[in-house]
Amino acid sequence: MPTRLRLAIRCLCLCLALALALSPMTSVRAEAGTPFTVFAAASLKTALDDVTALWRNETGGEVVVSYAGSSALARQIEAGAPADVFISANPGWMDRLDDAGLLRAGSRQDLLANSIVLIAHGREAVPITLSPDLDLSGLIGDGRLAMALVDAVPAGIYGKAALETLGLWEQIAAKVAQADNVRAALALVALGEAPFGIVYATDALAETRVSVVARFPADTHPPILYPAAAIVDGNAPDVLAFLEFIRGPAATKIFERHGFSPAP
Instruction: State how far the alpha carbon of 75 is from the alpha carbons of 33, 87, 231, in Å.
Output: 28, 13, 13
How many other C-beta atoms lie within 10 A of the C-beta of residue 1?
6
The mean per-residue pLDDT over the stretch 37-55 comes to: 97
Fold match between 32-113+225-262 and 116-220? yes
Q: Are 232 and 104 in contact (CB under 8 A)?
A: yes
- Identify the band that residue 135 occupies on the pLDDT scale cut at 50, 70 and 90: very high
* Mean pLDDT calculated for residue range 76-89: 96
> What are the boundaries of each domain within the chain?
32-113+225-262, 116-220
- Where does the pLDDT of residue 33 fall: very low under 50, low under 70, confident under 90, or very high at 90 and above? low
> Could you read off the pLDDT of 173-226 as tens digits, one per residue?
999 999 999 999 999 999 999 999 999 999 999 999 999 999 999 999 999 999
Q: Minimal CA–CA distance to 41: which of 88, 75, 9, 76? A: 88
In this prediction, residues 147-171 reach a mean pLDDT of 97
The highest-level CATH class for domain 116-220 is: alpha beta
- pLDDT (average), residues 130-148: 97
Predicted TM-score (pTM) of the model is 0.80
Alpha carbon distance 110, 104 (integer Å): 15
Contact 102, 96 (CB under 8 A): no
Q: Which pLDDT does position 30 carry in this prediction?
A: 33
Nearest Cα to Cα of residue 166 among 116, 205, 226: 116
pLDDT at 237: 85
DSSP string, 20-38: HHHHHHHHHHHHHT--EEE
What is the CATH topology of the domain spanning 32-113+225-262?
D-Maltodextrin-Binding Protein; domain 2 (3.40.190)
